[in-house]
Amino acid sequence: MIDAALSSSGTRVVLATSGDENYPPENIIDGNTETFWISTGMFPQEFILRFSDPLKIKLLTIHSYNVKNLKIEKSASSDATDFDTLSEKEFEHTEGHLQANDFSLTGTTATHLRFIITSGYDHFVSVHRVAIEGVYQ
Amino acid sequence: MVKLRARCILVGDASVGKSALAQMFRSDGAHFQKNYSMTAGVELVVKSVNIPESSDSVELFIFDSAGKETFVEACEKLWGQPSVLCLVFDVSSEASFRSCSLWLERVRAHCQGLQVPGVLVGNKSDLSSRREVETAVAQEWAQNQGLEYHETSAKEMENCDAPFLSLAQAFYALYQDRLQTIQTLA
């Protein structure tokens, strides 16, 4: 199945609370776990993805490092408002390799997804890739 | 270019000059409050520090926290997860120096095992005739605790920026270090 979160499928990052210009949030949706976005201090941190069309999601996978608590919210509106909580998870701490976590979100249709990192295992956390199995409506 | 953000917890006994120090730093030495006014909660002072030889900066969110015992518990709730620590005592008060280990313990309880860069500041260095804590003694204790030692006089505008600049730099160094680690992962 095609990864619907890729920037090449029209997905955009419309907000990110941290910005090191060498590690832009677009790295999250380039399909590559070698490139990443890094937070630049303090929590919470968040980023919002916008899809080109309403997306019916099956499975979401996120590759990250040092993220402790992550909350995912969705919006079905066209202007990134009215977010509802979809899922919340405490990630396990990994050392020497990335965290890989799946979220089974079958039946969810969204125009935007908001990822809120409420705490980390270090001062700085990185997100390498968000991949989504889904079908555009 | 990157702008980091650090939560700086500023603690120490009441009346050692924490607020005076924070205000001198914020105002670039333009504002020394002559009359003592006790901080009852937490006052937030925000200032950006440029990192030398780079186009990067660290924005310090200084949580100037009440030193008076009655208020401490309420203040602690606002500390969150500290990024850096600024621990202050008064060089003319042995008691305020002795309290430092308790303050350190309190802040570390909020650090969740994270490496938190810290400085120890001996303030009121202008009161040389009333000095009760020798530089060497403070320096040694700081070193044992992994803190960098600075002496300041908020009143004489002496060295007030140094502790904050050093914290900003330490946090920046931590960022560079973590970046390097993450780069090797992928």
Domains contained in chain A, CATH given:
7-136 (2.60.120.260)
- Counting residues of chain B whose pLDDT is more than 70, the rounded percentage is 99
Q: Do A42 and B61 touch (CB under 8 A)?
A: yes
| Å between B1 CA and nearest CA of chain A | 6
pLDDT exceeds cutoff 80 at A74: yes
Among residues A37, A87, A94, A50, the alpha carbon closest in space to that of A68 is found at A94
Determine contact: B114 vs chain A, CB below 8 A: yes
Any CB–CB contact under 8 A between B9 and chain A? Answer: no
Q: What is the mean pLDDT of residues B147-174?
A: 97
DSSP assignment of A21-86 equals TTS-GGGGGSS-TTS-EE--SSS-EEEEEEEEEEEEEEEEEEEEESEEEEEEEEE-STTS---EEE
The whole-number average pLDDT for the span A18-36 is 95
Q: Which of A33, A97, A123 sits opposite B114 (nearest CB)?
A: A123
ipTM for the complex?
A: 0.92
Q: What is the pLDDT of residue A5?
A: 87
Q: Is residue B40 part of a domain?
A: yes
Q: Which of the four pLDDT bands, split at 50, 70 and 90, describes residue A91? A: very high
pLDDT band at residue B163 using 50, 70 and 90 as cut-offs: very high
Average pLDDT estimate for B42-65: 96
Residue B184 lies in a domain: no
The average pLDDT across B83-102 equals: 98
Q: What is the pLDDT of residue B153?
A: 96
Query: Residue A72's pLDDT is what?
Result: 97
Give residue B34's Cα distance to chain centre: 21
Domain that holds residue B99: 3-179
* B110 inside 8 A of chain A by CB: no
Residue B34 sits in a domain whose CATH number is 3.40.50.300
pLDDT beyond 80 at B176: yes
- Residue B29 confidence class, pLDDT cut points 50, 70, 90: confident
* Domain membership flag for residue B185: no
3-state SS, residue B103: helix
Convert the pLDDT of each residue in A54-73 to its tens digit.
999 999 999 999 999 999 99
- In this prediction, residue A1 carries a pLDDT of 60
Q: Do B7 and A42 touch (CB under 8 A)?
A: yes
Which whole number is the average pLDDT over B94-105?
98
Q: Report yes or no: B175 at the A interface, CB cutoff 8 Å.
A: yes
Interface size between A and B, measured as CB pairs under 8 A: 57
- A80 pLDDT more than 90: no
Closest CA to B11 of B62, B65, B72, B92: B65
pLDDT at position B27 is 93
Cβ–Cβ under 8 Å, residues A75 and A111: yes
In a domain, B9, yes or no: yes
**B11 domain residue, yes or no:** yes
Q: What is the pLDDT of residue A79?
A: 87
Q: Is the peptide bond before A44 cis (omega within 30 degrees of 0)?
A: yes
pLDDT band at A107; cut points 50, 70, 90: confident
Asked if the C-beta of B186 comes within 8 angstroms of chain A's C-beta atoms, the answer is yes
pLDDT, position B55: 94
**Above 90 in pLDDT, residue A33?**
yes
Number of domains in chain B: 1
pLDDT at B111: 93
Does B17 fall in a domain?
A: yes
